[in-house]
Amino acid sequence: MSETKRTLIEDGTELKGTLTSTCPIVVMGRVEGDLTGPSVEVTESGVLSGKAKVTELHSRGELAGEFDADIVQLSGRVRDKTRIRAQSLEVRLKRDEGRVEMVFGDCELAVGDAPDKAKAIAHAMSNGHGKKWKKPEVEEPAVESPPEG
């Protein structure tokens, strides 16, 4: 049986700086800084803050910062001012004391490809949404001259 290599940040470990790995990263402790790798999993006890560029991001812990990934699965906490860009986003709700909850702070989520302005305009024009507005023709009322006299 072959063992899959993983980069582990154990619970109780705090890493500040840059982390780059060619194998999946598992964060059970705390990582602050820049992270690059094929995938990252943030467990319930994990905190990832800073910038991360990965193919897959799975978080059941806490995220803060800026994240770029193709596939994102969230079921933990997303802090204020967090930005997540992804091709696919799945939010899984978790249970805490009988409640179903996913916590988002003040954050920005972008899912899918960045919009192409020219394509969006062409699409709107082809659907008839881009027709030029014409001022309705209104008949001017006749103005009567005051009686001479």
Model confidence pLDDT, tens digit, residues 32-81: 999 999 999 999 999 999 999 999 999 999 999 999 999 999 988 888 88
Any idea which residue has 């249970």 for tokens?
95
Tokens found for residue 40: 């990252």
SS3 letters for the chain? CCCCCCEEECCCCEEEEEEECCCCEEECCEEEEEEEEEEEEECCCCEEEEEEEEEEEEECCEEEEEEEEEEEEECCEECCCEEEEEEEEEECCEEECCEEECEECCEEEEECCCCCHHHHHHHHHHCCCCCCCCCCCCCCCCCCCCCCC
Closest alpha carbon to 27 in 7, 5, 4:
7
Residue 138: pLDDT over 80: no
Using a cut of 0.85, tell me whether the model's pTM lies above it: no
User: Given this model, what pLDDT does residue 1 score?
Assistant: 44
| CA angle (26, 31, 34) in 5-degree steps | 100
Measure Cα distances from 93 to 61, 77, 96, 128, 140 in Å: 12, 11, 10, 40, 63
